Amino acid sequence: MIFSSALVFFLILETQARNSTYRNPILPGFHPDPSCIFIADWDDTFFCASSSFLVFPGIPIHASRDLQKWKLISNALSRPTQVPGIDTAKRATSGIWASTIRYREGTFYVVTSLVYDDYPKNATNRFDSFIITSKNPYNSASWSDPIHFNFSGYDTSPFWDDDGTLYITGTHAWEVEPGIQMITLDMQDGRVGNEVNIWNGTGASAPEGPHLYKKDGYYYLIIAEGGTGPGHMATMARSKSITGPYDPHPHNPVLTNANSTQYFQNVGHVDLFQDANDNWWAVALSVRQGPDGSYPMGRETSLTPVTWNKGEWPIFQNVTGHMSGWYPEPKNPVEGGEGSLIGSAAHVDFASESSLGPEFVHWRVRVDGSYVISAPGHANSLQLSSSLSNLTGRDGRSAEPGGQTFISRRQVHSLFSFSATLDISSLRSYEAEVGVSVFLDQLHHWDLGIVMGSLASPPKTSGYGGPASNSTTLVPYLRLRGITTVPTFVFPDLHIVPFPTGWSGQKITLQITASNITHYTFSAGPAGQESLMQHIGTAPGLGLTWGFTGTLLGVYATTNGGLGKFKTYVSDWEYVPQGQVVD
């Protein structure tokens, strides 16, 4: 057959028009265990939910109309009464685990579990499974109180069969009882049917993260295996009957970057959905692992195209930083919602009558009254009331009775600058401290603080808390310290610097910068005098590479276990993106 040059040119243009390039991760930073859907009835919009563990508000909901411009529209958990257990759960791996978002007959559903990960693996009260619903996902307040159901497991996911029966798949603590379990659930009265084990996976560890789909007469089950580390992978099986037996995909795993040199690692925990053109996509969690093994930004959300022909097994494209896939027509960002586009710069001036946006989160539930916007006499600032506990607390795991005064936002860029200006005039007791932190959890954080000590008894350089000084003359110091278990458990003594005399009586700007992918740099200086900023020290991202979450950037105020509760004021909160490293 002979083609004219014009026809060949047309075919090339058609091919280019049907393909697009995009960059992973689509939800950078602390956005693990993704679940996404496409809803034509809602202006052809994609919606994604992420895990949140002990961070509150929880379960961030993002929306996009073109799979590239994602906006935080709400938090499905925004009221402490929805999950009071967040305030008692210990261990950083506790909290809200993988959440699945689905839509049916005008209602959005999120199914998830609150996990008390410090409880024994076989404890029946270790897992609290529940469903929340909304008619308007653009409003945090619209998400319902939980409907609890009896399933002693996690990674719960709903599937409605053609007859309307609701099935829930999930897994128990895999060390005790491995495999994917399924129950029926009656949403009217919360009754559940008998558990059925439907598949044990391919033999790798930790079969979990199940999702069910029905296509071409088959029930397809996709799960995660290998643990959420270097061996993480997605595997698949299918059956003509929803209860099985399920036959494994002949080429499992269907998606993984294990045993590769890819920058994107730990790829797994997959959910599938279609777009307006019936093209299939998958979202998966992944990490970007640096040359030293660090990935402080934690588990993120990546997107990959899937070829799924009728009656055949799906074929997944491997996850990389630069991808080519189906062509979703570029569209404007979604309208409405409470938050901003992910990856946006942020300059927050805490104007009177404003509120903290949904991007601001706390470690567990915040204590009422600890944060006041534009308090009387302090316009355009955020008043912090100090907590007795610092960011580590008593043992690095506990839910502190009085809370921890710490407010933060997720790190969503490889390279960035974060700064805040602090009024330290009310710090008058020994070890009273305000500062900025890059925080993973209570056992993994680096803090640059302004802390009170005396010439005879400077602030402690390691450990947390301690007896008050007998000195009556206290002076501020700059202290960079932290805590980590990576590679070993240490309280690093980084730097303690006498406060420059010329800074006395001024507001102070503290800054955290990531100018490479392995270390954070900490600086300080008088507010509004950039030329006087001083480099205080650096800290390794490897020390924040642990667990299931990702780094937060924020400000704190603490008495470090001492007397002398105080109020301090934060202004000019600024986050400046400086680059995204994807390969």
Residue 491 is predicted with a pLDDT of 83
**CA nearest neighbour of 49 among 110, 115, 106:** 110
CB neighbours of 191 closer than 8 A, spacing ≥ 6? Answer: 185
**How do residues 96-108 score in pLDDT, each as one tens digit?**
999 999 999 999 9
Strands 147-149 and 127-134: antiparallel
At the topology level, CATH places domain 22-326 in: Tachylectin-2; Chain A (2.115.10)
C-alpha to C-alpha distance for 175 and 186, rounded to whole angstroms: 29
- Percent residues over pLDDT 90 in the chain: 87
d(Cα 111, Cα 99) in Å, to the nearest integer? Answer: 6
- Mean pLDDT calculated for residue range 440-469: 78
Is 208 a residue of the active site? yes
Of 2 and 396, which is predicted with more confidence?
396
Whether residue 7 is predicted with pLDDT greater than 50 in this model: the reply is no
Distance CA 522, CA 446 (A): 9
**Whole-angstrom distance, CA of residue 24 vs CA of residue 318:** 12
Q: What pLDDT band is residue 459 in, cutting at 50, 70 and 90? A: confident
Domain extents in the chain: 22-326, 346-579
Residue 5: pLDDT over 70: no
* pLDDT for residue 380 is more than 60: yes
Residues 332, 345: Cα–Cα separation, whole Å: 18
Q: Is residue 464 predicted with pLDDT exceeding 80?
A: no
The residue behind tokens 């402490």 is: 80
pTM: 0.94
Which tens digits make up the pLDDT trace of 322-357? Answer: 999 888 888 999 999 999 999 999 999 999 999 999
Q: Take residue 504 and report the two structure tokens written for it.
A: 């006395």
pLDDT at 493: 76
Tell me whether the CATH fold assigned to 22-326 matches the one assigned to 346-579. no
Average pLDDT over residues 362-380: 95
pLDDT at 2 (0 to 100): 40
- Is residue 466 scored above 90 in pLDDT? no
Partnered with residue 199 across adjacent β-strands are 180
Rounded Cα–Cα distance for residues 96 and 80 (Å):
13
CA dihedral sign of residues 24, 519, 507, 367: positive
Contacts of 214 (CB under 8 A, 6+ apart): 159, 161, 162, 220
pLDDT at 11: 31
User: What is the distance between the alpha carbons of residues 471 and 364, in angstroms, rounded to a whole number?
Assistant: 35
**pLDDT, mean over the chain:** 93
Among 33, 66, 271, 441, the active-site one is 33
Q: Of the residues 66, 128, 208, 275, which is catalytic?
A: 208
Cα separation of the two ends of the chain: 42
What are 425-452's pLDDT values in tens digits? 999 999 999 999 999 999 999 999 999 9
pLDDT category at 472 given cuts 50, 70, 90 is low
Quick one: fold of 346-579? Jelly Rolls (2.60.120)
Q: Read off the pLDDT of residues 136-176 as tens digits, 9 standing for 90 and up.
A: 999 999 999 999 999 999 999 999 999 999 999 999 988 88
